[in-house]
Amino acid sequence: MGVLKLAYGYPYENHHRHRRSDLERARKLAAREGVTVRAQVEQGLRQVIAEKRRARGFCLKRASFKGRGVRPELEGASWKRLRELAYERRGG
């Protein structure tokens, strides 16, 4: 088992299992590019995370609140009237 270290304030395990052929190809590529295999792994993780974020798309945060709905006297009121009430005594 690998040694537990801190990365960005969080512990992580630096032992990874790879197929021998993949690891050998990664070592050769790293040597050609003048980087470490570790740097390649970190770059790959960042790329996968970024792709997942993009694929997930936009999700609107829920902004509802608990209540009993519209007051009976405002049922069917126009947006103009509701806006007036919302900004009443607020300079609007």
Q: Any idea where the domains of the chain sit in the sequence? A: 19-56
pLDDT at site 5:
52
Per-residue pLDDT for 4 more than 60?
Answer: no
pLDDT, tens digit, for every residue of 20-58?
888 889 899 999 999 998 899 889 999 998 888 777 777
pLDDT for res 80: 93
pLDDT at 1: 45
Q: Strands, DSSP E only, in the chain?
A: 4-7, 10-13
79 confidence band (pLDDT: 50, 70, 90): very high
Average pLDDT along the chain: 80
Helix, strand, or coil (residue 29): helix
